[in-house]
Amino acid sequence: MSALFEEEVLSVRHWTDRLFSFTTTRSPSFRYENGQFTMIGLAVNGKPLLRAYSLVSPNYADELEFLSIKVADGPLTSKLQHLKVGDKILVGKKPTGTLLVDNLLPGRNLYMLGTGTGLAPFMSLAKDPAVYERFDKIVLVHGCRTAAELAYADEIENKLPNDELLGEEIRAKLLYYPTVTREDFRHRGRITHLFGTGQMASDLGLAPIDATQDRVMICGSPAFLSDITTLLKGMSLKEGNSNEPGSYVIEKAFVER
Ligand code: A2P
């Protein structure tokens, strides 16, 4: 049996000249947990060319959704960015990943910190009922260079609070904190700075980060992961995994360089 499903592209959205997203059909037997990633790609010269992509769509959705950068000379994204409705796409049957609520100890506030396409896994988690059951506040943080790169901002701010299933929980618990580094915006600066100085918690009216109560999920570029991990360790937060839940979990955003 093949390790890949063949799905069909249902819609494509170009956010900027560096960023796009698309939706596909979903094979009924494809199962995943919110926060996970899977391999996706295209058949090139008869062989699958695959990269890891986090699922943007929650695991109960009828369609799959993915967020991608466009790299002009990237082996996959140089081709993927030309996807059209009706095209075929390969989707790996074995999703995996560490950004799972079960890998975290129960706690007070959950911070989901993503840079660039590192937002993707948090979109599925922001629609997961288990997340709202376990935490008082869920802080969805997205750091980008420009406001145009704040993908899904409209959905987060205007659609999620009216979600049929989770609207009430979302209105009570979800706080969205977009921040931009290279132009003026209502929040400006790198996530590491805003989180580390306490400015983020203060802007949101939350108590300062407390390692014994607050939890963090992180997804972004290797430089961001390295800097934020140093910061969290300095605050005495411990990394969690499936054997031993902890106070933070981490995943690299799988971008092509
Ligand atoms: P900056 O504009 O200061 O580089 P990219 O599009 O390059 O992946 O960046 C996405 C966002 O992540 C940008 O706002 C960028 O800020 C920020 N960023 C890049 N490196 C780091 C880092 N080491 N720590 C925190 N934020 C970072």
Would you state the pLDDT for residue 252?
83
pLDDT in tens, 169-207: 999 999 999 999 999 999 999 999 999 999 999 999 999
Does the beta carbon of 178 lie inside 6 Å of ligand 1? no
Does the beta carbon of 195 lie inside 6 Å of ligand 1? no
DSSP 8-state symbol, 74: -
pLDDT in tens, 79-134: 999 999 999 999 999 999 999 999 999 999 999 999 999 999 999 999 999 999 99
Would you state the pLDDT for residue 235?
94
Does the beta carbon of 121 lie inside 6 Å of ligand 1? no
Measured CA to CA, the distance from residue 84 to residue 82 in angstroms comes to 6
Would you state the pLDDT for residue 171?
98
Q: Categorize the per-residue pLDDT at 254 as very low, low, confident or very high, splitting at 50, 70 and 90.
A: confident
Residue 92, CB half-sphere, CA atoms under 13 Å: how many?
18
- Residue 72 CA, ligand 1 centroid: distance in Å: 20
Neighbours of 164 (CB within 10 A): 5
In this structure, the residue with its CA closest to atom 8 of ligand 1 is 116
**Nearest-atom index, ligand 1, CA of 228:** 24
pLDDT in tens, 137-172: 999 999 999 999 999 999 999 999 999 989 999 999
> Rounded to two decimals, what is the model's pTM?
0.97
19, two tokens: 């960023």
Q: Please, which residues have CB within 8 angstroms of residue 168's CB and are 6 or more apart in sequence?
A: none
Residue of 102, 99, 164, 96 whose CA lies nearest to 127: 164
pLDDT in tens, 28-72: 999 999 999 999 999 999 999 999 999 999 999 999 999 999 999
- Determine how β-strand 19-24 pairs with β-strand 64-69: antiparallel
**Nearest-atom index, ligand 1, CA of 117:** 8
Would you state the pLDDT for residue 1?
59
Would you state the pLDDT for residue 23?
98
Q: Categorize the per-residue pLDDT at 255 as very low, low, confident or very high, splitting at 50, 70 and 90.
A: low
Give ∠ CA 30-117-41 in degrees, rounded to 5.
45
Residue of 245, 235, 171 whose CA lies nearest to 201: 235
Domains of the chain plus CATH, in order, are 4-92 (2.40.30.10), 101-251 (3.40.50.80)
**Nearest-atom index, ligand 1, CA of 69:** 6
User: Residue 162: what residue type?
Assistant: N
**Nearest-atom index, ligand 1, CA of 255:** 8
pLDDT at 257 over 90: no
Measured CA to CA, the distance from residue 18 to residue 78 in angstroms comes to 11
Does the beta carbon of 69 lie inside 6 Å of ligand 1? no
> Can you spell out the DSSP letters for 130-193?
HHHHH-SEEEEEEEESSGGG-TTHHIIIIIGGG-TTTHHHHHHHEEEEEEESSS--SSBS-HHH
pLDDT in tens, 226-240: 999 999 999 999 999
Would you state the pLDDT for residue 2?
86
In this structure, the residue with its CA closest to atom 20 of ligand 1 is 224
Would you state the pLDDT for residue 256?
66
